[in-house]
Amino acid sequence: MDLAKFAEMSTATAYRYYQSLDEVAQAYLVRVMTELRDFDASRPETGRELLRVVSRHWVGMVLEHGPVLVQIRSRRGFFDRLHGKVTSTVRGHEARKRALCGVLAEENLPASMQDDAAMLYNTMFDPRDILDLVNLRGLGADHVTDVLIEAFVGALKGWNLGIRTAESATTKSAAK
């Protein structure tokens, strides 16, 4: 196995620790998300400013680890991974939870949107798209961060409006 050779260990030793490349990828992703979570915990900022600092750190991590992070994207949906307690997804959620809750409060959006906000963030801050914005659009890391945050806050507002509209239509339909 090339990975074992790169790590300067025998294939047998590598398989003693990891049964598959998926396990190696998950272990790597857990390490990256743990670093992001620990970074968040060390920050004094709140709300949108905390979101900006944590997001800028994430963009930097994507630029550092990008091709690897792109290769280990899951085929499972975000909610499935979050509720299924996939460690890397839970750690990523922990890393952004404080900032997302702060933004929801600052924008007068319901706290009950926390998981939806996490899903939207996961979608909008996809490593593939961050790399495209930097490498193909020529945006700097700060610019990418600022553009994605503005789009994310707009998406949160739109999501809330869509949920409220759907709930209102369901209520009206049930009342008939």
pLDDT digits (tens, 9 = 90+) for 76-91: 899 999 999 999 899 9
Tokens 């590598």 locate to 14
More confident residue, 141 or 31: 141
What are the pLDDT digits (tens) for 91-104?
Answer: 999 999 999 999 99
Amino acid in the structure at residue 111: A
- Supply the pLDDT for residue 21: 67
Q: How far apart are CA 12 and CA 18, in angstroms?
A: 10
Q: Tell me the residue type at 147.
A: V
Work out whether the CA dihedral 29, 118, 47, 141 comes out positive or negative: positive
The pTM of this model reads: 0.84
> Where residue 43 falls among pLDDT bands split at 50, 70, 90?
very high
- Complete domains list, the chain, with CATH: 22-175 (1.10.357)
Q: How far apart are CA 59 and CA 66, in angstroms?
A: 9
DSSP 7-43: TTS-HHHHHHH-SSHHHHHHHHHHHHHHHHHHHHHT-
The pLDDT value given to residue 6: 46
